[in-house]
Structure 1
């Protein structure tokens, strides 16, 4: 008799994740030693992670060597993995006493691994440096995708692992037919971008600890900063560096790969990249002009603050240089709507993604063309390739599902004690993985004042948004559990 899910395979996946987290905790313990801080919170967390990994590995040993993870297993494994790593990630906060409340520690951990960047911390700089490093490291791990990382050390999944890869990172275009090769190349690019930004931040006078933490947060498009003022207290040079790397991190990593290969033809043909650049430029210029003519800011300051916040919102990073709620009302309203944009597919950015917005515009244009020329036959294309009807319907239905979840999430947050504006903003920023929102959860505030119920709702929305909704919601359908 067959079964719906292959639990031994799933246990194998989770065990590998446990060992990856153990390595990350070991690195953080090293940071605690360097700064002469308490090491035991990381040691306890590490031991628990290893014990769970060994236990799960023992359970999975009867798995057939040729067993391949199927699509249902992938859906379940991916969703379970994000909640599992978040539980492990909350342990150092709890054991160290940095965040003694389980709900708060879990919220911070989920926010880290999903690269959301929302925080319950009211005084970030009061935490030990090792805890702040761990907090930023959760971003970095979540950015490349812990699901992608374990594929590197888990060749036994074979091509079945591609299900996990596409579900987590939205990469639909293969660079190489072998998935392991794809992941290795993307991981190299991820490391390269992290290293380059760290060097440039050091060159701007930022110390090594803060350079590494901010690079983790930037490349992962997460937004956790070890400073209470985020990027606001740093020089214009550092703000420009962070701005550039946020934009690069919101770009499809296939573009970076083609750039390294000097395959400029493919880059030039990529319509999503052109759309991403155009949308960012238009919104940035509009807000720059609003600041120039409605505030006392200089042109350069208006340009820098405008484009920094626009790129931060569109890429769902969440870094801030100032409180945009103090800008003219129309400016921060545009910022709010930017929360629904998202970066490119195949990037570390969250949100709806630029390619989906682009295809909506293509559908609108197709509708007008067909209305004007009812006898003509039009075919919608992306990057020169025809988009079939099934794919197109899936894209359009995603918008409906996304906004339906957003509305339901907002209503639930209102019932949990938030005002309507803060509820809508919190739901939007959690689903898109941005961090700060509007109202009482704006860039000058945080999520500490929310009720535990509201925080738990938001943690679910963070994971839901990070995994692009369907991956999680499919688990709640009756057909999923049918053999």
Structure 2
């Protein structure tokens, strides 16, 4: 029997902290006199009480090391329960939606997906905008912790390749995961503050600069404007594209930069491939659009850069009419969303690392066909990749494709049209945030989807955020046996 007390103790602490953060949007609403501040204060009180009661109940197991099974339960428990409490202010106060819609919005925020079911975003109280941005930021930080600390230990999707790198970063063994967490938090806050300052300098209103910066660095995609970034200046568009890229690079490289220099960042094969692939995608789409439209070249380049970076970084900000660019641009964007950005960041998708390993494994098999007796181990950045990592990566790729198809079919069966269902599965499992299809034309949101489809998207968002296999492992009966 798995001892759930260590898991409950940590989850209780996290829920308590979440309740404390609700005070911030409550104060913002109180200062703006929107009449919505009480919703956040009431929700904060309920959340803190439940969190503290859970912590006190499980405190006799505080300080005990987590087993692998407990680590799986902890990661899944966080992403299931935290959005439930985060949804409370959205039910109690504005926009006063049903629990399933509030939970959808909270899950989308925590998983940094950026998909929304809220209509008429511009009319929401400023505190709600702040809360949505904070959910993005807190989720992105939590995802980075899990990607750097938990997934390598749990050997999920080939991430065990980074286990040594994560804990032997500066030439010496780091004694505790909290050492990495502290450095990561410093980097994350620094990037956020730089983004805020840049937005404000370029003319974005102060409160929107804060909200957009929180969502940008987390690659989250929630915006206080229904038009997202369409109404901002070109300077803000270029700055946002830059910070979306910075937010989707491996955070461990920033920690190394703080400790030494820029060399570790540029020597990372993921970073070089990511920048190279997104450059090729942007240029190819630009050439396509210049040849098929009469728009100015600079406008075409800026829109293409912004939207394609937003998709590949799994941010979800938008500008212009991306669906109207034609089939070629949509196909390129879809592939970029599937690939995603770098492992060890707050971005999602398959990740550049796994795609690189896939190509390396494919190349090795082709070489074996030509020379069956030749021994040629797969190498990545000068290190040999063990067979367990390759097997885990292949299993993850297969699970990703299968899950994408199954979720799309189930959404289709719930009453959603084919195009909307496919892109709903794509945007959910990749935590991308973009929505395409007839059912999104009216509002630009997923509000018209049936409740069953929303539940499937919620499941896909969480599964995509936790690298799928972490969820599959827990639902197996063998996991619960001693």
Q: 8 Å contact 2:22–2:131 — kept in the other structure?
A: yes
Cα deviation per residue 1:434-474 (whole Å; 9 max; x = unaligned)?
Answer: 11132136697110110111111101110010001011111
- Residue 361 to residue 162, structure 1, CA distance change in 2 (3 Å): closer
Counterpart of 1:26 (choices 2, 23, 26) is 23
Task: Report the counterpart of residue 475 of structure 1 in structure 2.
Answer: 474
The residue that corresponds to 1:207 in the other structure is: 205
Match of 2:286 in 1: 288
Q: Please show how residues 333-412 of structure 1 align to structure 2 within 5 Å.
A: 333-412=331-410
Report the CA distance shift for 1:24/1:413 in structure 2 as closer, same or farther (over 3 A).
Answer: same
- Structure 2 residue corresponding to 1:240, chosen from 218, 238, 241: 238
Which residue does 2:260 correspond to in 1? 262
Partner of 2:433: 435
Moved more, 394-403 or 437-446: 437-446
Secondary structure of 1:259's aligned partner? helix
Q: CA deviation at 1:66?
A: 5.2
Instruction: Report the count of equivalent residues.
Output: 468
The equivalent of 1:141 in structure 2 is 138
Which residue in the other structure is 2:463 paired with?
Answer: 464
1:81-126 Cα offsets, whole Å, 9 max, x none, are 1111100111011111414211111110110001000001121011
* SS of match in other structure, 1:340: helix
Output the CA distance in 2 between the equivalents of 1:21 and 1:183.
18
The match for 1:111 is 108
**What is the TM-score of this pair, normalised by structure 2?**
0.93
1:411 and 1:348 mapped to 2: Cα distance?
Answer: 28
Tell me which residue corresponds to 1:231.
229
Consecutive unaligned residues in structure 2, runs of 5 or more: none
> What displacement does 1:257 show?
1.9
Cα drift, residue 147 of structure 1:
8.9
Whether the 8 Å CA contact 2:144–2:345 is kept in 1: the answer is no
Change (3 A) 1:345 1:166: farther
* Counterpart in the other structure of 2:324: 326
The farther-off stretch of 53-62 and 181-190 is 53-62
Contact 1:113 1:141 in 2 (8 A): yes
CA offsets per residue over residues 343-372 of structure 1, 9 Å max, x none? 100001011101000011111211222222
Tell me: CA distance 1:220–1:268, structure 2 relative to 1, closer, same or farther (3 Å). Answer: closer
Q: Secondary structure at the match of 1:310?
A: helix
CA deviation after TM superposition for structure 1 residue 22, in Å: 1.5
Q: Is the 8 A contact 2:338 2:426 kept in 1?
A: yes
Partner of 1:53: 51
Determine if contact 2:247/2:346 at 8 Å carries over to the other structure.
yes
> Which deviates further from its counterpart, 169-178 or 204-213?
169-178
Deviation at 1:164, TM superposition (A): 7.0
1:454–1:215 distance in 2 versus 1, CA, 3 Å? same
Give the structure 2 partner of residue 155 of structure 1.
Answer: none
What residue is the counterpart of 2:122 in the other structure?
125
Within the candidate set 277, 280, 283, 1:279 is matched to 277
**Which ranges in structure 1 are unaligned for 5 or more consecutive residues?**
150-160
CA contact (8 A) 2:13 2:52 kept: no
Cα offset, 1:62, TM superposition: 2.2
Moved more, 18-27 or 363-372: 363-372
The alpha carbon displacement at 1:165 in A equals 8.1
2: CA distance, partners of 1:94 / 1:314: 32
Q: Which residue number corresponds to residue 156 of structure 1?
A: none
Taking structure 1 as the reference length, what is the TM-score of the superposition?
A: 0.93
Q: Contact 2:411 / 2:456 at 8 angstroms: preserved in 1?
A: yes
- Structure 2 vs 1, CA of residues 399 and 105 (structure 1 numbering), >3 Å: closer, same or farther? same
Q: Distance in 2 between matches of 1:66 and 1:128?
A: 41
Q: Which residue of 1 aligns with 2:77?
A: 80
Deviation at 1:302, TM superposition (A): 1.3
Q: How far has the Cα of 1:268 moved from its partner? A: 3.7
CA distance in 1, matches of 2:149, 2:248: 22
Summarize the Cα distance change of 1:293–1:418 in structure 2 as closer, same or farther, 3 Å threshold: same
Change in 2 beyond 3 A, CA 1:304/1:66: closer
Deviation, structure 1 residue 293: 1.0
Q: Indicate if the aligned counterparts of 1:290 and 1:328 stay in contact, CA closer than 8 A.
A: no
Shift of 1:408: 0.8
